[in-house]
Amino acid sequence: MKRTLYAIGGILLALFLSGSFAWAGETPYTSAAMEKKLRVFRQKVGAVFILPQSLGPHPGASYVLSRARELGLSEAQIRRIRAIRRRMVTRSLRQFERIDTLRARYLAMMDHRNPPLERARKLYMQLTRLMAKATFDHLEGHIAVGRVLTGEQWRRLHGQP
């Protein structure tokens, strides 16, 4: 009898541990391709976004999806949030490429003893405008995610009763 109980306990423990380890490394509701894009996005976001603090009160798609069970998201809500995230991240990555190109051109231009200041100024203004647009486009995505949630889900997300 003791052996049977130990065997059942061991099997249950093994099943429990194997399930938790499989979940620990994955982002919920995220494909492998999107996980790869998210890694690149997270590496670049700090150097590109202007005033990223403005995103704070508006949680992102991945954060909301990670709390899907707790918030009680429906399958339709999950699909909408994933679609928003896909558009947001894809657009941001394209913007980051353009920003990186302009930044490299600007830095190369300024790496001279007597740089062409008028051209450099125009390029710098173009660069900062693109950075601001990238930040605001991403903020719009965060707000779109918030609009998918019901009032009750939004309150739960922000820890309000």
Q: Is the pLDDT of residue 117 over 70?
A: yes
For residue 1, give the DSSP letter.
-
24-70 pLDDT, tens digit per residue, is 345 567 788 888 888 877 777 766 776 666 667 788 899 999 999 99
For residue 16, give the DSSP letter.
H
Cα–Cα distance measured from residue 151 to residue 157, given in angstroms and rounded to the nearest whole number: 10
Cα–Cα distance measured from residue 107 to residue 94, given in angstroms and rounded to the nearest whole number: 20
Cα–Cα distance measured from residue 105 to residue 159, given in angstroms and rounded to the nearest whole number: 46
Nearest to 64 by CA among 161, 160, 143: 143
Q: What is the pTM of this model?
A: 0.69
Q: What is the mean pLDDT of residues 11-23?
A: 36
Count of other CB atoms within 10 angstroms of residue 66? 16
Q: What pLDDT score does 57 carry?
A: 77
